[in-house]
Chain A
Amino acid sequence: SQTIHQWPATLVQPVGSPLSLECTVEGTSNPNLYWYRQAAGRGLQLLFYSVGIGQISSEVPQNLSASRPQDRQFILSSKKLLLSDSGFYLCAWSVTPGQPQHFGDGTRLSIL
């Protein structure tokens, strides 16, 4: 069966520090991969999606970037974190865009 892993579960970082969040999927090949952010009191916002290795699409302009160095690995990064980057970050995968999305357990990021 397929599983999705995200780490770390929680992270506290100072403003201006770099960020790297990792997401890996097991049990499937060539998944569609997604990064979402869920800010307090707001709905989920799609940040990035990827349909294949090295293929990244950004949905909103922001301080973050994403990379997909391997088929089942999706990384969310920042060179300098802002206070507004605080939130709950969720990784998800699907077989195709028309199939159900499956989510990881999320990373709670607090910027101080």
Chain B
Amino acid sequence: KQEVTQIPAALSVPEGENLVLNCSFTDSAIYNLQWFRQDPGKGLTSLLLIQSSQREQTSGRLNASLDKSSGRSTLYIAASQPGDSATYLCAVRPGNYGQNFVFGPGTRLSVLP
């Protein structure tokens, strides 16, 4: 059974710092991995999707990497801003083409001005 964990559970950094959020999954047979951000009381906003054949994806100040063999993905945020404060979730789609995306519990990020 696929399990997804995210470390740390919460992170507080001063504005301008570069930071890394971690996502680990127990079964390396995945189809893809998606990173989301969730603002309090809101739905999820898709940030980046990495297919199993890819190593990384970039969008603006965000860079997501995938190491399938070790069951890890990282989300790198460059030059953090207070507007980046949110909960960041990763989700894994199993490699058996099932629909059952497995979500991690999230990392709550606070960027202090």
Residues on A close to B: CB < 8 A?
A: 6, 32, 34, 42-46, 49, 57, 59, 90, 92, 97-106, 108
Size bracket, chain B contacts: 20 to 34
A59 with B100: CB separation less than 8 A: yes
The residue from A42, A57, A98, A100 contacting B105, defined by CB atoms under 8 A apart: A42
Q: Quick one: closest A residue to B6, CB to CB?
A: A43
A97 with B93: CB separation less than 8 A: yes
List A contacts of B49 (CB < 8 A). Answer: 99-100
C-alpha spacing A6/B43, complex, angstroms: 10
0/1 per residue, B21-63, Cβ < 8 Å to A? 0000000000110101000011111100101000000000000
A32 with B99: CB separation less than 8 A: yes
B103 on the interface (CB 8 Å rule)? yes
A49 with B46: CB separation less than 8 A: no
0/1 per residue, B63-94, Cβ < 8 Å to A? 00000000000000000000000000101010
- Nearest Cβ in chain B — how far from A87, in angstroms? 13
B31 with A98: CB separation less than 8 A: yes
A46 with B41: CB separation less than 8 A: no
B106 with A43: CB separation less than 8 A: yes
The residue from B4, B43, B99, B100 contacting A103, defined by CB atoms under 8 A apart: B43
C-alpha spacing A32/B43, complex, angstroms: 17
C-alpha spacing A46/B44, complex, angstroms: 14
The residue from A34, A57, A100 contacting B46, defined by CB atoms under 8 A apart: A100
B43 with A101: CB separation less than 8 A: no
Q: Can you list 8 A-B contacts with CB-CB less than 8 angstroms, sorted by A residue number? A: A43-B104, A44-B89, A45-B103, A46-B99, A57-B99, A59-B100, A101-B91, A103-B44
* 5 nearest CB pairs, A to B: A103-B43, A103-B44, A44-B103, A43-B103, A49-B99
C-alpha spacing A44/B101, complex, angstroms: 9
User: With A43-B106, A44-B89 known to touch, is A101 a contact of B42 (CB < 8 Å)?
Assistant: no
- Nearest Cβ in chain B — how far from A14, in angstroms? 23
A103 with B45: CB separation less than 8 A: yes
A108 with B101: CB separation less than 8 A: no
- Nearest Cβ in chain A — how far from B100, in angstroms? 5
